[in-house]
Chains A and B, each alone.
Chain A
């Protein structure tokens, strides 16, 4: 899902996806409707919200991600041979409320990368398409202060083009197929503030390189196939919603369950152990979303600052 995608592609940028339609709001065809976003990676797939039954939502999001410091294993450094790495993306999102408890969602990003120094060529292309299903297990009044909801999300991502994964940090993605399961718990108080916690586990398939051998994690592999470590992430966020305006702040962490470190003076590799801790703030107003996030600490990732923006429309079918 977006989170897993985002996670492994921290050298690149994954675009956050937009917000959602509020539950119970009246929706008219072709009208821009208020959206709420849930915490962090606040992407539609990862937030704690659903689309109401028979509502179709679609949106376009733009993200700009940049870093000039990165962690080579655990050592933070700059590299004059690449300078500042910028990743931009435009993502199209579409979601549909199948029932009031089940939504499906798909996202497709177009990504382009650039290094500000050195002779290396940036890359661009269609990255990975993700398909997700979100199901609300329970939504119930809790204490008398608000509503508690629990949700599970299953998602699958697949590369949508034959892009090169083996040219990090300028590759647009890791070219692995991903399957993830997420569990989200969300408490929404009547006064408007809310708390959300979410965790996900992502499996990733082997990646096939264009070369017959590679060295990683202390070993030479005489194969063009790379085993990818699974990834685990969690997020906590707090926000305040007043009418059509919602402002969440979140803290999230990703841990890879395996993978080697970038060696001194080496280039990053697809199966590196990519860990990070990130803080993000979002402003959501009706169908518009603006966000900024910053990697606070990490391993084998860039210390990226990311700006995101998007618009989302919903229609009642």
Chain B
């Protein structure tokens, strides 16, 4: 027995739950160039120049360079190839989740009790930019996903205009070290992804620019060394990716995020407005008190909904803080927290995704990734999946935050100071629950993409939502209205997908 225990102590290896085997796509999705665009006017908004012929001398030189590179690959280079063989969209999704987790800690207070605000123009200062809280993270995931999606659809269009084959297909002396199918190679989808993603991430996570550019370069190298793409495939792809990114970066600069933090006058006005309505206003429970998180995020431009729709789809007002219903809901929170089972506690922690993590939208990306991987989606179809999912969650954040700050209602612990929480208390109003909204929107989209698992997504959505009651930080109304709201928002993504030509 002691020996068994001792041996058990020796195994300290951690197995990732998201291992990515080399991606062998189920379908080339050759018509992806005709799928409906989100932001671009069409696949010809950006042009890709005609490539040199497969028989040209210039191209022959490129093939020779690949052979030379393949003849002296180091172990490190092979690891880079194996890493990116798992799929570019999936790998970047893992990387963005890591960046969010790295930057999702709030600024520390100054000695005088005030809080500094991260400055995008000075990202390496203290505090670093950004503070990747859930709305910021939802926005980041969505910009990366949409940019990749638009760029890949464009790439697919031009690939099938030129139909230039992969080096490993053209020259038998070049080995395919990553799966190389019949997808035309020019422009290189790996290079497109590297270009579009690096430009988006430089704006979203500027303090990580060194790591981001290195990863992007590795992706292009992997495409080259593996025989999948020649240097000109890569150059064209990189240029296309960057061009598409510029369009998305321009949108990001004007989407209202700049004003999301608000100022002291606005924060005070929110509290005064709640009091004027006869309600108890939200008050920060942090020490020292911290301004509410992104009170103007509800005015950021949604992907799928017009500003009018964002407002009309909102759930009704929460129960008044002086109502009997509110008293009952507060009591329910208190009773729940005081009688938590170990299983309920586990659920609270499973879905918490608080400060220092990849946040709730990241958790749903984590869930989606395994389904995308197992479906062996092509890069453009995978990009579509993540774009639909993350646009829905971004708009869920916009919708939810709009309601939170319209009503500015207090957390349970404010109405009953005896309620102790088993997870951290978020620093913003309660109604409705962000987790519930994100989860319902995500479950709606994933159930459309993977209908066989719709019941599983439904169960996850319910568990993620109720976890907030177990945590002691939300009322029942926050959860129920949040789930309804999220499902409605997810519906916008599903309706878009049903007619986008990818079915």
Task: Report A's interface with B, CB cutoff 8 A.
Answer: 80-81, 117-122, 156, 158, 162, 164, 166-167, 177-179, 203-206, 209-215, 218-228, 263-267
In the complex, which residue of chain A has the Cβ closest to the Cβ of B420? A121
Q: Contact check, B356 vs A215: say whether CB atoms are below 8 A apart.
A: yes
A119 engages B419 (CB within 8 Å): yes
Contact with A along B172-190 (1 / 0, CB 8 A): 0000000000000000000
**B170 touches A (CB below 8 Å):** no
Residue of chain A at shortest CB distance from B472: A121
Count of B residues near A, CB < 8 Å?
Answer: 52
Which residues of chain B have C-beta atoms less than 8 A from A222's C-beta? 16-18, 94, 366
Select which of B9, B97, B353, B425 is within 8 A of A119 by beta carbon. Answer: B425
CB within 8 Å of A: which B453-503 residues: 472
Instruction: Note all chain B residues with C-beta closer than 8 A to A204.
Output: 9
Q: Can you identify 29 A-B contacts, CB atoms within 8 angstroms?
A: A80-B287, A81-B287, A118-B287, A120-B422, A122-B420, A156-B6, A164-B346, A164-B349, A167-B423, A203-B9, A204-B9, A205-B12, A206-B12, A215-B356, A215-B358, A220-B94, A220-B97, A220-B101, A221-B16, A222-B18, A223-B14, A225-B14, A227-B14, A228-B12, A264-B105, A265-B108, A266-B355, A266-B356, A267-B424
Q: Is B11 an interface residue (CB 8 A)?
A: yes
CA distance A189 to B2 in the complex (A): 37
Contacts of B102 in A (CB 8 A): 215, 218, 220
Q: What CA separation (Å) do A117 and B11 show in the bound complex?
A: 39
B300 shortest CB reach to chain A, Å:
25
Contacts of B13 in A (CB 8 A): 227
Cβ of A210 and Cβ of B420 under 8 Å apart? no
Q: Please determine whether A166 and B108 come into contact, CB atoms closer than 8 angstroms.
A: no
Contact B9 A162 (CB under 8 A): no
**What 10 A-B pairs have minimum CB-CB distances, sorted nearest first?**
A80-B287, A121-B420, A220-B98, A210-B349, A215-B101, A210-B346, A227-B12, A222-B18, A203-B9, A266-B356
What residue in chain A is nearest B419 (Cβ atoms)? A119
Inter-chain contacts of B12 with A (CB < 8 A): 205-206, 227-228
What distance in Å separates the Cβ of B74 from its nearest Cβ neighbour in chain A? Answer: 23
Chain B residue nearest to A79 in the complex (CB): B287
CB of A212 within 8 A of CB of B287, answer no
Write the nearest CB–CB distance from A179 to chain B, whole angstroms.
5
How many A-B residue pairs lie within 8 Å, measured between CB atoms? 127
B residues whose Cβ falls under 8 Å from a Cβ of A: 2, 5-6, 8-18, 94, 97-98, 101-102, 105-108, 285-288, 337, 342, 345-347, 349-353, 355-358, 363, 366, 413, 419-425, 472
B17 and A211 contact, CB distance less than 8 A: no
Q: How far is the CA of A57 from the CA of B285 in the complex (A)?
A: 49
Q: How far is the CA of A110 from the CA of B37 in the complex (A)?
A: 61
Q: A81-B286, A226-B14 are in contact. Are A121 and B337 (CB under 8 A)?
A: yes
Complex contacts, A264 vs chain B, CB 8 Å: 105, 108
Pick the contact of A179: B9, B106, B353 (CB < 8 A): B9
User: A214 and B357: CB pair below 8 A?
Assistant: yes
Residue on B nearest A202 in the bound complex, by CB: B9
**Closest chain A residue to B356, Cβ basis:** A266
- Residues of chain B within 8 A (CB-CB) of A225 are 14-15
With A and B bound together, what is the CA distance between A228 and B10 in angstroms?
11
Q: Are B15 and A206 in contact, CB atoms less than 8 angstroms apart?
A: no
Alpha-carbon distance A117/B105, docked complex (angstroms): 20
Secondary structure of the B contact surface, majority rule:
loop
A156 contact set on B, CB distance < 8 A: 2, 5-6
Please determine whether A166 and B420 come into contact, CB atoms closer than 8 angstroms: no
Q: Which of B18, B345, B419 contacts A210 (CB 8 A)?
A: B345
Task: Establish whether residues B5 and A263, one from each chain, have CB atoms under 8 Å apart when the complex forms.
Answer: no
**A212 and B106 alpha carbons, distance in the complex (Å):** 22
CA distance A267 to B2 in the complex (A): 34
**With a CB–CB cut-off of 8 A, which chain B residues contact A167?**
349, 422-423
Shortest A290–chain B CB gap in Å is: 32
Which residues of A lie under 8 Å from residue B421 when comparing CB positions?
119-121
Contact of B349 among A120, A166, A203, A221 (CB under 8 A): A166
Give the one of A158, A205, A224, A227 with max B CB within 10 A.
A205
Expressed in whole angstroms, the minimum distance between the Cβ of A85 and any Cβ of chain B is 14
Which residues from chain B contact A221 at a C-beta distance below 8 Å? 14, 16
Which residues of the partner chain B approach A166 to less than 8 Å between Cβ atoms? 349
Closest chain A residue to B411, Cβ basis: A119
Across the interface, which residues of A come within 8 angstroms of B5, CB to CB?
Answer: 156, 158, 177, 179
Q: Are B349 and A220 in contact (CB under 8 A)?
A: no
In the bound assembly, the distance between CA atoms of A223 and B363 in angstroms comes to 12
Contacts of B8 in A (CB 8 A): 177, 205
The answer for the CA separation of A16 and B50 in the assembled complex, in Å, is 77
A118 vs B424: C-alpha distance when bound (angstroms)? 10
Give the residue name and chain of the B residue nearest to A265 (CB): B105
Cα(A211)–Cα(B347), bound, Å: 8
- Complex: chain B residue closest to A229, CB-CB: B12
B-chain residues with CB within 8 Å of residue A267 when the two chains form the complex: 355-356, 424
CB distance from A301 to the nearest CB of B (A): 18
Q: Quote the shortest CB–CB distance from B59 to chain A (angstroms).
A: 40
Report whether B6 and A179 are in contact in the complex, using a CB–CB cutoff of 8 Å: yes
Rounded to whole angstroms, the CA-CA distance of A156 and B353 in the bound complex is 33
Chain B's closest residue to A82 (CB) is B287
Q: Which residues of B contact A263 (CB under 8 A)?
A: 105, 356
Q: Which residue of A lies closest to B12 (CB)?
A: A227
**A224, B350: Cα distance in complex, Å:** 9
Q: Give min CB distance, A117 to chain B, whole Å.
A: 6
A122 to chain B, nearest CB (A): 7
Extra 8 A-B pairs, beta carbons < 8 Å, given A206-B11, A213-B366, A220-B358: A80-B286, A118-B285, A120-B422, A166-B349, A215-B101, A220-B98, A225-B15, A227-B14
Contact A164 B358 (CB under 8 A): no
